[in-house]
Structure 1
Amino acid sequence: MSFAYEITSEVGDPLVLRSRVDARGQDLPGPSRSVDDILSALSRKAIFLSASENIARQDERDNIAKDIVDRHTRRMGGAPWLDRYLHYIQHEDHRYPRRVLRAVSWLSTFALENDYTLIFGGHPAISPMVLEVARRFATNHDEVRVVIFQSELYANIIPIAAKDISRWPNGCMLTTRAVGRDKNESLTLMRRHMLSAPGLHAGVYIGGMGGILEESYRFEELQRGKPRYAIGSTGGASEYLLDAMGDEHCGRMPTRELRDALADDEAYAAVIDQIFDDLEAAP
């Protein structure tokens, strides 16, 4: 029985999957999934969750800054806000780990309650919270409700909680090929596959570091015109996205009320409720 599939097709082409096997050639344990199951999950209405821990020590910030310069100049052509963001991550200290986890918990709850598929990258700090919520929504059938994407480059260090989600009756994992040993290129390929899911209705950004910036950029590139919501009160890159590009990260119909809630409100059940009201009220 397989709990993971490898994507062997190119971004933008019809999805081609093969069962991912262990080093002995045996299928990995977990619920069996057909290609039709996976295609159905990716085509159903879905929310993309972009979340991670925020920036911590100064040496980590400096390394992240160097990585962002490389990523945005080599592959994304730079951006007018790059210098401002580099200053932000090197000189501001906006770490709110509890806020990040609370926001992730409420977003996962609202998504599953409202019959959305939840798609995310299986970050080790985020996966346990998603798993905790997902277990409350187990169903008696095998419809996929949570889809995790991982790069094959990290096959040996996939978080335990991410594996547990993929073994959950309503979860699955898709892996994308590694681009040599290049971390940035491999993650970019994974993100492009993840953000090509045809059922995506919106992207929600919580906390995070430089990867969240790329995920916002890629979402707009691959899901043009679909709404993005940056919960700025969770700090990190999401706070920056809302500060610097607020109108692009306040949903379909930006209002002062919604922007203020995203920026300042720590009652995340109410914030997520406003996000879903905006998402579902729009044509």
Structure 2
Amino acid sequence: MAFISVMLMVLCLVVLSETTEPLCSPFNYEEKLLEKMVRNEFKMEQALKRIDDFEVLLLRTNRKIQGAIGTLKEIEARLDSKLSMSSIGATYIRWGRSSCPHSNNSLVYHGFAAGTHYSSSGGAADYQCLPVEPELETVVTRADYISNIYQSEYLTHGATGLSSLANHEVPCAVCFTNVSSTIMIPARKTCYIGWKLEYRGFLMTERDNHANNKQYVCVDKEPEAAPGSNAAYTNSVWLGFVFPTCGTLKCPPYNSASALACVVCSKL
């Protein structure tokens, strides 16, 4: 190292002897190196400042993105809520009650069961849930050939359960639920796996020795009388228990001494 320094000094003396301006010094190399280090340090500080500025910008951008995501989730939740209350879903009739069984169901309307008179050989075979606030059509006030509809009553006379409802009018409720489908299953008290119970009850229909046939409906297991109902005998449309007939049905598992149950189930 000492030898190198001596050689540098000799070289500088030679150069100085040929020019009036000093071109180098014993510490020229160190000065240049220091100058370069200073410049690199300055560049490093500038780069670090740019990184700091970028981090601030990135943080602000991330906050904006998170805010946008939150807004999108809120919009999605609102849309889901609106869709759940829109046409996507299914309806069913809860016979024997004027309200829907679950809080996530919405009541479309409530009313009372009605149908064709039991002695009629014609007319309709299904029960209708007539609303308590009808909107009557006044254009047609008479016709030569008509079908009359009557309010239905419980045919539970002498039964070991629900006999107090005999002759009382039958309420009903049309319920909407945000599922894909609903089904009424006779002779069951529980739904099959994968289905949700909406309500359970008793399978009921018109008395089988009457002239007019009716469909089977599931009347809630805890039925009530329609508002304003009384036990006056009107002898019009009936809803009575259904018992299995052994010999045609296998007993067991069926039993002619047990009225058939039913469930209304829904599926997403």
TM-score strictly above 0.5: no
TM-score range, shorter chain: under 0.3
Larger strand fraction of residues: 2
Greater share of helix? 1
Q: Computing the radius of gyration over CA atoms, which structure comes out larger, 1 or 2?
A: 2
The alignment's TM-score, normalised by the length of structure 2, stands at: 0.19
